[in-house]
Structure 1
Amino acid sequence: MNKIAFGQYYHTDSFIHRLDPRTKIISLILMMVFIFVIPKDQFYALGFAILLLLTVIVLTKVPLIKYIKSLKQIAYLLIFSFFFQALFNKSGETFPPIAQNLSIANIAIGVVLLALYLVFRKHLPFKLLWLLLIIVAIIYIFQYPLIGKTIKPYQLVIYKGGVVTGFFIIVRIMLLIVYSSILTLTTKPTDLNNALEWLMKPLEWIKIPTSVLAMMISISLRFIPTLFLETERILKAQASRGVDFKEGRVKEKITQIISLLIPMFIISFKRAFDLADAMEARGYIPGAKRTKLALLKFRLWDYGVLVFSLGIVIGLIVLRVNHAI
């Protein structure tokens, strides 16, 4: 769990690190709009977004493994999203249908393969790859009638529209996660707090305490990795007492989860009280006006990045409105 990249700051000297944090937040929002505006059949626009992301990753000088770890946490979600769209989205032309034979022998083999995976997965490297191979093997086995009576023959029909939609969904999610990781990896928590407070200034007109809200957001982002580290320590402590969170019945798993949640709540409240005491000792008063040690200032390259980000979003919207794409 300590491998999560989101919420962690990676110190180095790069062009992206030197950008104003407000520039990075605004550019992130604009890139989110750009990603969602891309039509699902426009691979050129999606390819441009991927190429732009790779360029930004190179400019950050942050090791690539940091971004890969952030995607690893949602790998199963990506696979589920793709297969759900591929199997249930019935749009567009169809691929050649795959004949399937639902028999007792086929079902038994499929159940055995999945059971073996569940039993030995904690000892397997590349668990996700093994799961994909097992799914493909089950689909292949179901093509042939084995020993026993065939319960029901059917055809597995996959639509091209579903595959394309599934592909676009997982790529969009990956782009959003990596772009968000770039923001937290290249921006200090204090700078992020100051930028959020500045961006939310208009909300003060409707009596919303923006400084308190910005502080809450920045503290939440800062303590995401800390809570994951504490969770891992509790898991190791429970494992040393013989608790196995991957085994057991439903009732046992509920008991195991409770044994994890209660210490997590206690630790979270303790850290919150310690942080509150530390902030009070340093004279922090919620909502009070404070001066800044380092003032945020837009530079020439910040304006250039903002103009570029806004330009590609406006360009894509104009092309969509004019039905050019």
Structure 2
Amino acid sequence: MNLAETLRQSFYRWALRGRAPEAVPIVLTRHRVFVLPTRAGMAYAGSLVVMLVGAINYSLSLGHAFVFLLAGLGIATILATFRNLAQLRITPGRAEPVFAGEHALFGLVLHNPRPGERPCLRIWAGNGAHLVMDVPGKDCAEARLPVPAIRRGWLNLPRVTLETTYPLGLVRAWAYAAPALACLVYPQPARQAPPLPLGSGDHQGGLRRAGGSDDFAGLRSHQPADPLQHVAWKAAARHPDGELLTKMFAGESTETLWLAWDALPPGLDEEARLSLLARWVCDAHGAGLIWGLRLPGRTLAPASGEAHYHHCLQALALHGQD
């Protein structure tokens, strides 16, 4: 780390007025809001100096009055810009799990205790995209900050920057915040994976319905082991992508699958195995199957549904991590 980066990180720690992550709610007190002129503000100040020199040189009384009027407007702008950010309260919201390679969306709630609106606030986290939002008076607004999710596991919210140049763009006021908020990043599902190991399970506890075998129950994605007589050819012809769909019947028994670490092709590293298992979990969930997950040192009992789906993906995301 070079000297410039060291000084920059030291300034960030000093600007936060404490250790990160911060206790909530985070209040942007007057000691945490910094103000500096923008390029337009510096050009504005330079123009005032030139106008003042001209008014003095030609003894223009109206010139002096005009310069002092514009200078007072600039000073009032400093206060207005500072007040647009000061005393803003920040609380963390939610961050839904995402897959690696996507953007995690961190929710931050901005509370405005004043009756006046706070317009044109820019907010971003780390090197993510900037959001521009208004916070109504005596109300709150939620910002959804996008952050690239590169690796699986827990992704902590980077340092958040808030700034404003309202109302005239002559002054920039900004502040930093570091709320405690994390997003769970699932492994990225493999684009190409072997078919589901449909012959690796058993039929114990696999009976999903006990009605008559002739009662139509719906459609699901076609699997390689499904009989051809159960393929819904008419529905597949109407599908825009030509995807094959399989008919489900009320008396149909579903095999319990085991998605096992040892069942993967040999010679793969840890991340490739997790990526393939994530693809299998997504495919099994999309097909409405019952499946269990076997990882080194951990086994998840067979089940189905949304909760089991996320539980398995969470186990894959945190595999080998404390």
Do they superpose with TM above 0.5? no
Which has more helix, going by share of residues? 1
More strand by share: 2
- TM class by shorter chain equals under 0.3
- Give the TM-score, by structure 1 length: 0.22
- Point out the structure with max Rg over C-alpha: 2
- How does the TM-score come out when normalised to structure 2? 0.22
